[in-house]
Amino acid sequence: MSDTAKLEYQGRIYELPIVEGTEGEKAIDISELRNQSGLITLDPGYVNTGSCTSAITFVDGENGILRYRGIPVEELAEHATFKETAYLLINGRLPNRSELTRFSVLLNDHSLVHEDMREFFSNFPRASHPMGILSSMVNTLRSFYPELQTMEEEINITVTRLLSKVRTLAAMSYKISRGHRVVYPRPDLAYCANFLNMMFDSPVRPYEIDQDVVHALRLFWVLHADHEQNCSTSAVRLVGSARVNLYAAISSGIAALWGPLHGGANQAVIEMLEEIEEKGGDVKPFVKRAKDRNDPFRLMGFGHRIYKAYDPRARIMKKICDTLLEKLHIRDPLLEIAKDLEQTVLEDDWFVEHRLYPNVDFYSGIVLRAIGIPTNMFTVMFAIGRLPGWIAQWKESLDDPNWKLGRPRQIYIGPSLTKFVPLEER
pLDDT, one tens digit per residue, over 138-173 is 999 988 887 665 666 667 788 999 999 999 999 998
- Fill in the DSSP letter of residue 116: G
Local confidence band at 259 (pLDDT 50, 70, 90 cut-offs)? confident
Q: What's the pLDDT at 127?
A: 81
| Contacting residues for 40 by C-beta, under 8 A, at least 6 apart | 33, 34, 409, 411
The CATH topology of domain 4-50 is Rubrerythrin, domain 2 (2.20.28)
What b/e sequence results for 166-196 when a residue is b if at least 16 CB atoms lie within 10 Å of its CB, and e otherwise? Answer: bbbbbbbbbbbbeeeebbebeeebbbbbbbb
- What is the residue type of 163? L
* pTM greater than the 0.85 cutoff: yes
From first CA to last CA, the distance across the chain in angstroms is 63
**Among residues of the chain, what percentage have pLDDT more than 90?**
65
Q: How far, in Å, CA of 9 to CA of 41, rounded?
A: 13
Neighbours of 223 (CB within 10 A): 26
Q: What's the pLDDT at 177?
A: 82
Closest CA to 171 of 183, 163, 179: 183
Q: What's the pLDDT at 70?
A: 97
Q: How far, in Å, CA of 270 to CA of 278, rounded?
A: 12
Closest CA to 135 of 233, 11, 42, 255: 255
Q: Where are the domains of the chain?
A: 4-50, 73-263+386-398, 270-371
Q: Give catalytic status of residue 332 as yes or no.
A: no
- Fill in the DSSP letter of residue 293: T
- Condensed to tens digits (0 to 9), the pLDDT of residues 279-321 reads 999 999 999 999 998 999 988 888 887 887 778 998 899 899 8
Q: What's the pLDDT at 152?
A: 67
- Condensed to tens digits (0 to 9), the pLDDT of residues 322-366 reads 889 888 887 778 888 988 998 999 899 998 888 888 888 888 988
Q: Give catalytic status of residue 304 as yes or no.
A: yes
- Condensed to tens digits (0 to 9), the pLDDT of residues 28-86 reads 999 999 999 999 999 999 989 999 999 999 999 889 899 999 999 999 999 999 999 99
CA distances from 253 to 18, 238, 256, 262, 400 (A): 31, 10, 5, 11, 20
Q: What is the residue-averaged pLDDT of the chain? A: 91
By DSSP bridging, strand 57-60 and strand 26-28 are unpaired
Task: Please say whether the beta carbons of 335 and 275 come within 8 A.
Answer: no
Q: How far, in Å, CA of 304 to CA of 231, rounded?
A: 14
CATH number of 73-263+386-398: 1.10.580.10
Q: How far, in Å, CA of 242 to CA of 237, rounded?
A: 9
Q: How far, in Å, CA of 162 to CA of 384, rounded?
A: 10
Q: What's the pLDDT at 149?
A: 58
| Contacting residues for 111 by C-beta, under 8 A, at least 6 apart | 164, 165, 167, 168, 185, 194
Q: How far, in Å, CA of 390 to CA of 281, rounded?
A: 39
Catalytic residue among 201, 226, 311, 361: 361
Residue count of the chain: 426
Local confidence band at 415 (pLDDT 50, 70, 90 cut-offs)? very high
Q: Does domain 270-371 match CATH 3.40.630.30?
A: no
136 CB burial (10 A radius; 0-12, 13-18, 19+): middle
In the predicted model, is pLDDT for residue 1 greater than 60?
no
Decide if 4-50 and 73-263+386-398 have a common fold: no
In the predicted model, is pLDDT for residue 378 greater than 60?
yes
**Among residues of the chain, what percentage have pLDDT more than 70?**
98
Catalytic residue among 224, 226, 304, 311: 304
Closest CA to 26 of 57, 44, 47, 53: 53
What b/e sequence results for 123-135 when a residue is b if at least 16 CB atoms lie within 10 Å of its CB, and e otherwise? Answer: ebeeeeebbebbb
